[in-house]
Structure 1
């Protein structure tokens, strides 16, 4: 392998390219880790540098001699009587300057603090092309100085950092890092935080110019009334909610210092504004509760009936009724969105704060009023069973309100979810997820109704 191949260059490379290649490979073949490879790299550098200087003195003519490719050491050097090629016989010492190049390190640091990125980049290129950094120790000290500048300065941008990495040859994917990973990770995190801050400020500026853009950032950071935020949330698409959640999670978990640095106050209850993933537990509760009301009213009403047929027919009938109610509620929800301003106003006045939650929770027209419909059905289906007529509407109404409020909690874990998680950690991997999915109150309601039916039938017998 020729000395050009060791450096990864062609025989027509100039002196500056040779120095850059040597500085790049010097980080890989360190003298303290692999002295043999370092010695070979050193010899290749000296031979290539000598040939490039001789070529420059000879008028820029490229000589593709066998010495540059695969010639033996005896054939690599020209005859001694040729005075222009005698320099290739000898090892050329690396020149050392008495003082480091200009501009000085302190001047470069001052430029970085003043935000003069272009001057700093030009100075870095001058230093890397100089003979001063050919020493391995000086190169390390120079890189550590640059890292210290980056950690202490405040105004540099991710674009400037990428340029510095490109000039210095720092590449995380190839393992060429100038420091330990923890220190490097802090610099990368700072770049990401800077990029996120620029994105947030840009989105807020776009929202001020046009309300159709930057809505996710405005929803999280802009101070608004409950009515205005409710209107914005009702107009969000699935993609808008995804952007909103990603931005809020990044601020909360990764960059909590960012709002204070930007002078912004994020929405404290942003999870409660997330749309419900499903109303499945609401419909399940209504199916179980209303089916139980029908079964009890049939067994204990004036026209008493018994048998397995009633136990099977009533739940099947309630599935159809529940489906119709679900479709009707979807239509009603669209009507309530149109009347959103009035809904927010009366809900803020009439509902408790823990239900209303600044417009993110229960609303009177949208949620509470529809919950009274199944309660009225439970009262009507209770027949002449006096105790059931009083108990069933209350249970159905409160249960519907509870599960609706739980669905509106968004990303916030409910009390039952936290309790089940704690039990799972203590008891082990029991099928608690089934209990959570089906709903704890629904299971309790079924158990109470079944116990009531059993004891009543036992009393009749």
Structure 2
């Protein structure tokens, strides 16, 4: 791009400008031509600077070769001595003059050996006064670049005092030594940066790095590139920095992975990007745990996997987890196992497996309330009514179908009214429950609360107590079964059962619905239009049939004799042979009631 324009014209210099003038002019133009504001203008300036710098250096080398004599004074003296004939003695010969350049180097060496960071300005002034400025600087540079040298302070003082690596330096330094000198300066700065990073002072680290980037000895493009590579390797070789710090460093140097703007080598850069993603990932989950909330999907996943806590707390949380939470848990565990296993060191309490045992499909409380009332009806209500002799098979079927639905609906309505009161005192209720109830009773999912659940359960028990002790005992046994056999307590056992039931209902939903309708219709029909009773048998038990209705006292001896006679004529007399008096009285009452009902039905006008 610069071939069409003279580099001297672009730089605003004459074509006889030396290397020092070119560097100074380039440093001035860099202040008004920035790569991030006008990349094309900066590229043209850079190419012009490189071409002008090469021409000035080549011209200086040609001038040195042209001005230097073919034979030095020392070589001429040596030749003259060798050509003298043996007739002349050594005393007759004129000795060559001492080498002034060697003497200057020797004097500069002495000055440099006595130089420290504190007296550098004074030592340099002495060298200038003695006319040995360049030998002094050259020897000082050699000393600063010595291997295993600990002259960091002296090097920094020399940079500031002698303006090395800037357009105003008086000593000509080769490109290799410039790179070596820059590396030594960066390494000395690295100790401060490393200390700030180890102490976690990222702001101090970033401020020191920004100050370093503004140093005048890093103004040239080559050294800025060297600085960026050095920073990249520094981050690669040290741990403890965060993703936020890396983003600020990228912003400082204009690095952008999407645009392909980053220092070489690329594999180091890729490693930094992966580490930055890992740090950002870890910091994200640390923030979620530090917040102490469980509102979002990721917050619940973090609590279940990375910081499980007590099992009762996990069960309580898992009870209200949706499918998205379990997907997030699975994704988090997969990421830890496959990409970032170091997260286990950051989260030592993490458990990647136990959360799987907590996974329970959401359950409908109405369904389990209905099942509870079905069991109570089948285990107490129907047997109790049949013992009274007021219930037959048809009425028992109607009761089993209708009573659980009625009680379930009543309970759901009552809980809707009760729920706002429970929410208003939720915190106090949980505190009181943790204080009074044992931990095993909080299972499953810590759902047993003194006020929210205890008050309704006690109220139902009080209502059922009107049915007698047997009703209270049946109710208590069902509650104990729910506590110890709840699906929330044993999710893995119930999971295949629930899946099988769900599959069965899905496949046979229509058949089940039609069957329920048929059974309900049949029960209603037979309750309204019962079947005609069979004629009363006229066998030997006919005496019982004639004696029982309305005129026999079931507690009398006559009734006991009739029950014994009926037992001997029964199909299985051994079943009733050992009946006690109370059992015979109960049998008498059942038989008397049944026969009275049959006689009433025969006497009705419809028959």
Task: Name the structure, 1 or 2, with higher relative contact order (CA <8 Å, separation 6+).
Answer: 1
Greater gyration radius: 2
> Shorter-chain TM-score: what band?
0.3 to 0.5
